[in-house]
Chains A and B, each alone.
Chain A
Amino acid sequence: MMRYLRGYAQIMISGAEPERCLNMFAACDVAFWAPEKTDALHLRCRIYQKDLDAANRLASAAMCTVETELQRGLYSEYRGLLRRPLLLLGVAGAFAVTFFLQNFIWVITVSGNEQIPTEQILLTLEQEGVTFGAWGPSFEQESLKNRMLNRLPQLRWLALNRTGAIARVLTSEREGEKHTVDRAAVSNLIAKRPGVITRVSVLNGFAAVQPGDAVITGQLLVSGFMDWTTHTQATRALGEIYADTFYDITVKQPSCVQKKTYTREEFKVRTLIFGRKRIKLTGKSGILGTTCDTMIKTRSLTLPGGYLLPVALETVTLRPYTLTEEPVSQKTAEHVLQSAAKAAVARQLVAGSIKGESHTIQQNNGALVLRADIFCEEMIAVSIPADPLREEETNGESDQR
């Protein structure tokens, strides 16, 4: 192996006394091995490539000739690669990536989190030293887990598994307090807003209203106490009570809007992002003022398997514009305000629909004001706990009447 690395040559010594050549080699410290006398005038042996010139001189002195039969060695066989530097660079890079660079963390994936944002976990990991380019074997899993759980109390459990250059963070979050409904509790249904009853559907309890009745906010709709003559049953009132309700909504918007007029100019700024470092490639980034539309497009380097590397090319496109004030047409404003009013009412409906609306629009102090009356049919029943003692007193008074 060492001889191959150093490079050797097989030579044929020809002469009347080839042994004299060997004697001269030995006397002048020219190492040789595997001598083989083929006949009386020829002797084959091997020497190091670096000794070829000396061997030729010594052979001449011994009145012999030296003929090189073959040359072998790392340099002689692979020196052609020196003409291909990129190939050598690629091989060196492959070795580096395989045996050295994979000990650094290049990709961090987080899974198992639902409430806590991934960015928050990554930021906390960065504060603990787990970041892009960190030395992987330096992390002690158990102490890192304990530190992370102290920093993020919403987490119940955390584990960091490293596979080569990929660090996988597995998390489990604490469960929040669960709101449970006590199905055995006694409750009534009352009206959450005033209206005229249109539909009554009682699943459990005693209906205190019927279609056509006008009710006010807080009025009893379904009682959880049912009178069975011989006894009173206290239960949880269940049902759906629909009523016609009325909403008075006021919505306003400015009567003039600022409209963008683009200057037809466009600037592009390209930046190479490597981890947290940003290297500006092209473009002028010092554009002052805020009257620009900014469109940011980022293309990240992705490994097979979908692993995102923190290497990205960011292209920011800037389109300057000027602002001009334009009055809003009343028709357009009316349509926008009407839609906004209906949307506001729809958000308040638990169940039901908007049946009709009427509105007025007027201009007041530079603003367009829309006042809308919206009629809905909605489910107005809401459940509240009932006090049995209070109900008994109320029933007693009504019996006495």
Chain B
Amino acid sequence: MGQARRQLEHWIRAIDFPTEILTGIPTVQIKGRDETVVVQHRGILSYSDDAVDVASSIGVVRIRGAGLKIRLMNRERVCLCGKVSRVELEESPV
């Protein structure tokens, strides 16, 4: 499965197509220190004021900070607001 994914990504890059749309690769956007958006997520694993764990296709995105709150959440994206101090990606074997 991982090899198939890598091959797919290779072909998509060859035609200059955005890879995340077809492959479901998550995207983390950090806007300053107050807003973090995770696109292409697979749900929230844990949620608290200082730690939010978001599942994705390539692992768990761990966001640490203070006063974290979910401002928007739908099927595709989670938008968090609050002071973000650290963003980690814990890869899971694919």
Listed in ascending order, the chain A residues whose CB lies under 8 Å from chain B are 18-20, 22-23, 25-27, 29, 31-37, 43
Contacts and interface: CB of A to CB of B under 8 A. Distances in A.
A22 B47 contact: yes
Contacts of A20: 43
A36 B67 CA distance: 10
A26 B43 contact: yes
A43 B73 contact: no
The 3 closest A-B pairs by CB, nearest first: A23-B43, A19-B44, A26-B73
B73 A37 contact: no
Contacts of A18: 47
A121 to B, nearest CB: 68
B69 A29 contact: no
Contacts, number: 36
Given A19-B43, A23-B43, A27-B43, 14 more contacts: A18-B47, A19-B47, A20-B43, A25-B73, A26-B43, A26-B75, A32-B73, A33-B71, A34-B69, A35-B47, A35-B70, A37-B47, A37-B49, A43-B47
Contact of B46 (A19, A25, A33): A19
Interface string B68-85: 011111110010000000
A120 B25 CA distance: 87
A19 to B, nearest CB: 5
B27 interface: no
18 contacts: A18-B47, A19-B43, A19-B44, A19-B45, A19-B46, A22-B73, A23-B43, A23-B44, A25-B73, A26-B78, A27-B43, A29-B74, A32-B73, A35-B69, A36-B69, A37-B47, A37-B48, A43-B47
Contacts of A25: 73
A193 B3 CA distance: 142
Contacts of B72: 33
Given A35-B69, A35-B70, A27 B75 contact: yes
A89 B73 CA distance: 42
